[in-house]
Structure formats: C-alpha cells, structure tokens
Amino acid sequence: MTGVSVHGSEKTRPAASAYRRFLRRLPLTLVVAMTVWLMLRPALDVAVPKFAQVLIRAFEYPRVTRLVPTEHWVEVRRSDFRSGSAIPTVPLTEIHFNTIILLALHLATARPFSRTQLERLLMAWCVLYLTQSLNLVFHVKTIYALALGEWSLQHYSPVTRNVFASLQYFTDLPGRFAFPFLIWMGFNWDRVTELVGIADESTDSSKKSSKGKGTTK
C-alpha cells in the first residue's frame, strides 16, 4: 500500500507544479493582455461593428442598417428613419473586453509562442470575434424590437421581442465571461487535462490495459 501511495503522489506532482506555474503567470499575463487589448481597441471598435453590420444586413430587406463606430461606441443608424430621429448607441468596450481573458489564458499556458499555440490562438480569437459580433447583433435587434416605441410594436411580434431580448441577455452576462474560457479550453484541451492531472491518469490506465492484454495473450 505504501508503494501505491508513493507512486500516486509522484504522478500528481507534474500536474500540480504545472498548475501552480499557470496560476503564478496569470496576474502578469492579465496585465500584458490588457495592454495588448488597449493597443488593439481602436481596430476592434471598427472590426466588430463591421462584421455585425454584415450579419444584420444579410437577413434584412431592404438593407437599411448602418453601424457607425464613434469613440468606443457604435451608433445604430437606419436609412428609413426620419432625419430628426434619435440615434441609439451601444458601448463597444463591454462587448470586446473579454479579449483580455482569452489572451491572458493563452499567455499563461505553457509555450504560448510556439507555432501550435499561436495557431490555436488565431483560431480561438476568430471564434471569440464571432461571439462578440453576434452579441452586438442581438443588441441592435433588441433595440429594434423593444426600444423604438410604436415602430417596434408594428414590426416585431411578442415572441420575436422575447427571443432577441433573451439572446442579448445570454450573450451579455454569462456569455461574455464564459465564452473566452470555453473557447480556450476547446482549443487547448490537451493542456487543460495536463493542468488538472487527467492526462496522467488516462495515460496510466491505457498502459495498464495494454499490459493486461499482453499478459492474456
């Protein structure tokens, strides 16, 4: 029994040390990620509304929506509204600030600048960019469905209003914080299993099963 316990403790040591290194790096990588996000913020303020506008206009007839970024906000304009109509705005910072979380997790992962990890970061960032653009789409559609008074009542049914409001809520509160973690885990599952020690256990169990088969033969 003593030998088994020692062997078990030896198995958990690499995973525990990797996990501690990951946690120690996180505060520093958060600072670095925030710095990178601040440098990229003007580009994200343009890129997110641009793709969101493409998504909205793809299902819009006639295509009247224009999303105009201005000073970390986006103006929601429609060409069929009167010239004196109020222009709704949506803050862009709260939509793409979760880029910081994805970057910090990536930089805290082992060998973040290897080719494999950089490719994973690029793919993960593309998926996160899609979720950010969809979040803005649901903001705009919720404005159309709920915030334009009589026009909203005429053009959107109660079911549609509830659907867009629910999608905005989901991508706002749980989505913004959960998406970066889920996307990072999805593209780095092998690294995540190493951090929590699952990889060692699965490797040992596969080795034991292969040995058992060889003994049976």
Tens digits of per-residue pLDDT, 95-113? 999 999 999 999 999 999 9
Please report how many Cα atoms fall inside a 13 Å half-sphere around the Cα of residue 199, on the Cβ side. 14
In a domain, 180, yes or no: yes
Residue 215 lies in a domain: no
The CA distance from 26 to 22, in Å, is 6
CA dist 156 and 167 (Å) reads 15
- For residue 140, the model assigns a pLDDT of 97
**Residue 209 exposed, middle or buried by CB count within 10 Å (0-12, 13-18, 19+):** exposed
C-alpha angle 26-30-35 in degrees, rounded to nearest 5: 150
> Is 174 a member of any domain?
yes
Residue 207 inside a domain? The answer is no
> CB neighbours (10 Å) of residue 101?
21
In a domain, 148, yes or no: yes
Q: What percent of the chain has pLDDT over 70?
A: 84
Examine the pLDDT at 202 and tell me if it is beyond 90: no
Number of domains in the chain: 1
Instruction: Give a yes or no: residue 150 inside a domain.
Output: yes
pTM of the model: 0.84
- Note down the domain range covering 166: 2-201
Residue 131: inside a domain, yes or no? yes
* pLDDT value for 214: 52
